Chain A
Amino acid sequence: MIINGVQIDETFAEAFNMRGTRVIITAQNLKWAYHAANAMTGFATSVIGCGVEAGIEREMTEDETPDGRPGVSILMFAMGSKVLMQQLETRMGQCILTCPTAAAFSGIDSDEKINLGKNLRFFGDGYQTSKLISAKRYWRVPVMDGEFLCEETTGMVRAIGGGNFLILATSQPAALAAAEAAITAMKKIPNVIMPFPGGVVRSGSKVGSKYKTMFASTNDAFCPTLKGATNTELSPEIESVMEIVIDGIGFDDIAESMRVGIQAICDLGESSGVKRISAGNYGGKLGPHHFKLHEIMSGHKL
């Protein structure tokens, strides 16, 4: 398949089951909501080393947030519920409780609940108070800037992590520019995040390594400087490859974000330096969710 001069490989992205949650962070203004949210989603690029994958989903207006202040919604994903709960509480305690004027609320309904402020309340040393408002319990914890307001729990849902596609370009600037265009488009899609720095990852990995202690190592088949030294997937003109990884609440959310991202790159045209779009997989044997690029880009129902 070729779209506007860009080749779309007949391959698929292989994704995994995860557990996810959404938290709404509000503050006195958007600047401080971002300070809180950036801290909370920092060092959360990959479950391999960070425990969770997290990112800012979108900004929220005063009309959309529970307390009528500006805010942002955060999505957080982990391989299991236990890790997700631990990471959420730790990050809430160190990043939201500490951030001036910040408050936190549940952003997703589910029968499965995980703690948001349920244990953080004990920071109040007995001066904390709860309020049950419209069947939701909130905690008010006295802090030095006033009160830290936090909903007791948030929902936890089944989610998918590891949707991805690769951008193969004739230069590093061209690959990065295309990735930025894709991320700009993909950020408009709800229920997904791209957890890596700026939404883009340059160090795609393969399973295994020549070193016994490493269970993942550089994806040499897509490394342009190894074209002559390994079983490369790259043609001679490819000089740089960037990957975009997507975590989302549902399969369709991820598929749609991949579609708009790839389309945004293709809209740049062949002259942008982007030659191919591919995807990372493990032969289809590890992850239950397969995002087939041709089906996504042809608009077929997946």
Chain B
Amino acid sequence: MTQLTFTLKQPLAHSLDCAQLTPDLLKGLNISQIGAISLHNQRVSDLFEITGDDTENIIFKNSSQYFDNVGKNMTFGSITLEGDAGAYLGFGLKNATIHCKGNTQAFAACNMVSGLLKIEGNTGDFLGGASSGLRKGMRGGTVIVKGNAGDRVGDQMRRGLILIEGNVGDYCASRMIAGTIGVLGSVGEYACFNMKRGTLLLAKLPKLHATIQDCGTHTLPFLNLMFKSFKPFKTQFSNIETKRVQRFVGDAACSGNGEILLVSHSS
């Protein structure tokens, strides 16, 4: 079996909802059946050149920022985007893997439950956040971002791990309920705004607001466990060797018990 590959024939001028092109929904279909699926009143075969027959492992070639909802609610298999992705990449992802080799738009890993989402480029706002109306964002799984992320990373995040090698925007970990976010680059203003619990692991200290309190520098044994768990993802976080961190706690404005752990790393 060869991977099921969708190669975009013509560049898109508008967004395309790709939610139907997941291993869950394509299981058991042959190429002609897949080609007959309608996306925005266009047949999939009109939009894509389709090859391969392994619906559990899907590749999008020539993908662009207009590819919305890629991997939505998928529960098994893998999707690889050899290009950019649009909004809501990995929405509700559960026990599956998505690898985007380009950039993505906002709301990547929104409502994610488990699995792995890897983004080689940059991603937009609300990474790992909640969809409109929900009070809990990402509930599990791992997100790796090699580039930068926008504002509100991990907004209302409930559980899981987000590792960002680049910079992030403002309001990182805002309203965070639990989980872990790591950022090796710079962080914008108002980090941990209204943070309840959880950990924001940073390599550079951002400008903190008054309700984030410095608790001093400590050697924390649990960092051994946490850094060991980062190793399989082969990120620059594996280069962190120190177990000594400066600990900040907040957001005191909402009686929060979240923390910023500031480490120095050798990369």
Interface stretch of the complex, out of B14-22, B57-65, B95-103, B223-231? B223-231
Asked if A131 and B226 make an inter-chain contact with CB atoms under 8 angstroms apart, the answer reads yes
Question: Which residues of B line the A interface, CB within 8 A?
Answer: 159, 178, 180, 197, 199, 218-222, 224-226, 228-229, 257, 259
- Taken residue by residue from 53 to 69, chain A's Cβ proximity to chain B (1 for < 8 Å, 0 otherwise) reads as 00000000000001111
Of the four ranges (under 10, 10 to 19, 20 to 34, 35 or more), the interface on chain A belongs to 20 to 34
Q: Is the pair A67, B257 in contact by a Cβ cutoff of 8 Å? A: no
Are B229 and A133 touching (Cβ within 8 A)?
Answer: yes
- Chain A minimum-CB-distance residue to B159: A132
CB contacts (< 8 Å) of B199 on chain A: these are: 129, 131
A103 in the interface (beta carbon within 8 A): yes
Interface SS majority for chain A: strand
Instruction: Assess whether B226 is in contact with A129, with CB atoms less than 8 Å apart.
Output: no
Q: Write out the residue numbers on chain A whose beta carbons fall within 8 Å of the beta carbon of B259.
A: 129
Residues of B within 8 A of A288 (CB): none
Instruction: Name A's B-contacting residues (CB within 8 A).
Output: 26, 66-69, 101, 103, 126-127, 129-134, 138, 140, 146-147, 149
Question: Do B228 and A149 have beta carbons less than 8 Å apart?
Answer: no
A67-B218 CB under 8 A given contacts A129-B197, A131-B199, A132-B159: no
Measured between beta carbons, the chain B residues less than 8 angstroms from A103 are 221
Of B159, B222, B226, most buried by chain A (CB within 10 Å of CB) is B222
Q: Are A147 and B226 in contact (CB-based, < 8 A)?
A: no
Whether the pair B222, A67 counts as a contact (CB closer than 8 A) is yes
On chain A, the residues within 8 Å of B225 by CB distance are 66-67, 131, 133, 138, 149
Name A67's contact: one of B178, B180, B197, B224 (CB within 8 Å).
Answer: B224
Are A129 and B257 interface neighbours, CB within 8 A? yes
CA gap between A29 and B148 in the complex, in Å: 40
Known: A131-B180, A133-B226. A149 touches B221 (CB 8 A): yes
Contacts of A138 in B (CB 8 A): 222, 225
Q: Which residues of the partner chain B approach A67 to less than 8 Å between Cβ atoms? A: 221-222, 224-225
* Residue contacts A-B, CB under 8 angstroms, 29 given: A66-B224, A66-B228, A67-B222, A67-B224, A68-B224, A68-B228, A69-B221, A69-B224, A101-B221, A103-B221, A126-B257, A127-B257, A129-B197, A131-B180, A131-B199, A131-B222, A131-B225, A133-B225, A133-B226, A138-B225, A140-B220, A140-B222, A146-B218, A146-B219, A146-B220, A146-B221, A147-B220, A147-B221, A149-B221
